[in-house]
Chain A
Amino acid sequence: MLLLLLAGCGSDDARLVVSAASSMTGALTACSGDFDAADVRLSFAGSDELAAQIRQGVKPDVYAAANTTLPDELNKEGLLSKPVEFATNELVIAVPKDSEIESVHDLAGDAVKLAIGSESVPIGSYTREVLARLPGPESDAILANVRSNEPDVKGIVGKLTQGAADAGLVYVTDVNAAGDKLRAVELPAELEPDVTYAAGVVKGAKQPDEARDFVDGLSDGACADALAGAGFGAP
């Protein structure tokens, strides 16, 4: 009887569950209402966390990640359809509006407090990729300024807007979403990592057809427009 009650909580006709990386929160929330084929239920978290849930048997219909590695891995494990690349993003240094930080080199300065992504999440691995391209001593000095390894982008942005940290590395779309509180400092082109987003249909999805439509719509349709509006690029 209890199981029936629990089952009742989850079963509704044509409800599409989309697990998406936190960085797409604004864009996908704005466009999912325009998806006619199903009632879209969005679940945002770190890409790695969502992938871990899928590996533990959680079955959303769509998985949209902030990289291509995790969808590729899930695909190899037979848990996800062939991933489709649908957007790109740009890594930037986010600083409070009135900050004096103007370049990546300023991050190595004394008393600069950094909040970056944890090594286990895509934003954190991209950040370490960028730092590894700097000369060793400079990279070490910047890493020594790290005061928090946050589990997702929201944590980094929150620490910056609350004044707890002086700078962090996030996606340019996160700086746009934070309104006028934060300013983006661009990275030199030679440091910029390739940030490509990919999505796929989860194997065993309850709504595979609608899920396929949703994934296609990320490259072409209302959601593609919303992503472009939020500052994402086309792959």
Chain B
Amino acid sequence: MRAFPVLLALALATALSFLTLPVVAIFVDSSPAELIDSLGEPGALDALWLSLRTTAMALAIILLVGTPAAYLLATRSFRGKALVVTLVELPLVLPPAVAGIALLAAVGPSGILGGAVDAAGIELTLQTAGVVVALTFVASPFYIRQAMAAFAAVDRTLLDASRTLGASEARGFRRVMIPAALPGLAAGTALALGRALGEFGATLMFAGSFQGITQTVPLAIYDRFSTNFDSALALSAVLVGISAAILVSVKLVQGSEALGGAPG
């Protein structure tokens, strides 16, 4: 028997068991009945509802600003573009604690723009708006990166054809580029959604933790870790379920090529 294929299979088996065991354990440790019971306790549903609301708001901002920004970066070349792209992508690799400190230093009450934020009558820290800011900051690079790749992959002759036919660039962007890039945009949206739902450190440091206001599901899990492990497990199971649903829907949107079929 040749050794290399065996080695490959062993590596895959190791990776698969290492990556799935902790997730499986969440469900083994808690019965479905316990899961549902724990969701009924005060705070759990508040946390879920808050997570969904803040994630939806962050995604709306990300899509509205990120889509045209990604389109510009994908279709123009200019001096310093590499630097701009790197800066936009930087939050991808920032540890969440650094993101929290950075947000406080920038728009916290004593931050460099703190006075301006306050003068505008906006309160971010310890408020739901602060959660949205934290989620937007950490999640937007996931979307913008993917959207750039999606726009760059669109056949430029499509856009040029629409221009030749007299359509403005804005119309071409709306009617040609967005539909053509849609699978990639959807994948980027899902990645940003997953990152926003899971955000923990930046939210805690910047927005704090208060039931119904700033305590998202990851913060509620952490709060329950010491006193109510079952409840922490139940909330974790819900997050696993939502995340898995996101991943599966991305695969479906991207079609059979992403499901591991023949190369497209």
Contacts and interface: CB of A to CB of B under 8 A. Distances in A.
Interface in A137-158: 146-151, 155, 158
A147 B126 contact: yes
A183 interface: no
Contacts of B251: none
A163 interface: yes
B210 A162 contact: no
A46 B111 CA distance: 28
A163 B215 CA distance: 20
Interface in A42-59: 46, 48-49, 51-52, 56
Interface in A93-145: 113, 115, 118-121
Nearest to B224: A120
A162 B108 contact: yes
A120 B223 contact: yes
Interface stretch (B76-84, B156-164, B201-209): B201-209
Nearest to B130: A164
B109 A148 contact: no
A149 B227 CA distance: 15
Nearest to A51: B226
B226 A148 contact: no
A162 B125 contact: yes
A165 interface: yes
Given A155-B204, A164-B109, A148 B214 contact: yes
Interface in B16-42: none
A119 B223 CA distance: 9
Contacts of A146: 210
B211 interface: yes
A148 B208 contact: yes
Contacts of A121: 226
A160 to B, nearest CB: 11
Contacts of A52: 225-226, 229
Nearest to B126: A147
Contacts of B110: 161-163
B78 to A, nearest CB: 37
B209 A118 contact: yes
B209 A48 contact: no
Interface in A145-188: 146-151, 155, 158-159, 161-165
A contact face: mostly helix, strand, loop, or mixed: mixed
A189 interface: no
A164 B126 contact: yes
B104 A148 contact: no
A56 B25 CA distance: 13
A52 B229 CA distance: 9
Given A115-B126, A159-B126, A162-B110, A150 B226 contact: no
Interface string B186-212: 000000000000000000110011110
A146 B213 CA distance: 11
Given A159-B125, A165-B126, A149 B226 contact: no
A84 B202 CA distance: 37
B209 A151 contact: yes
B14 interface: yes
Interface string B113-136: 010000000000110000000000
B226 A163 contact: no
A131 B229 CA distance: 27
Nearest to B110: A163
A163 B111 CA distance: 9
A147 B212 CA distance: 11
B225 A149 contact: no
30 contacts: A48-B226, A48-B227, A49-B225, A49-B226, A52-B226, A52-B229, A113-B126, A115-B126, A115-B208, A118-B223, A119-B227, A121-B226, A147-B126, A148-B208, A148-B210, A148-B214, A149-B208, A149-B211, A150-B204, A150-B209, A151-B204, A155-B205, A159-B208, A162-B108, A162-B109, A162-B125, A163-B109, A163-B110, A164-B104, A164-B108
Given A56-B229, A148-B214, A155-B209, 10 more contacts: A46-B226, A52-B229, A113-B126, A120-B223, A121-B226, A149-B223, A155-B205, A161-B110, A163-B109, A165-B126
Interface of A: 2, 46, 48-49, 51-52, 56, 113, 115, 118-121, 146-151, 155, 158-159, 161-165
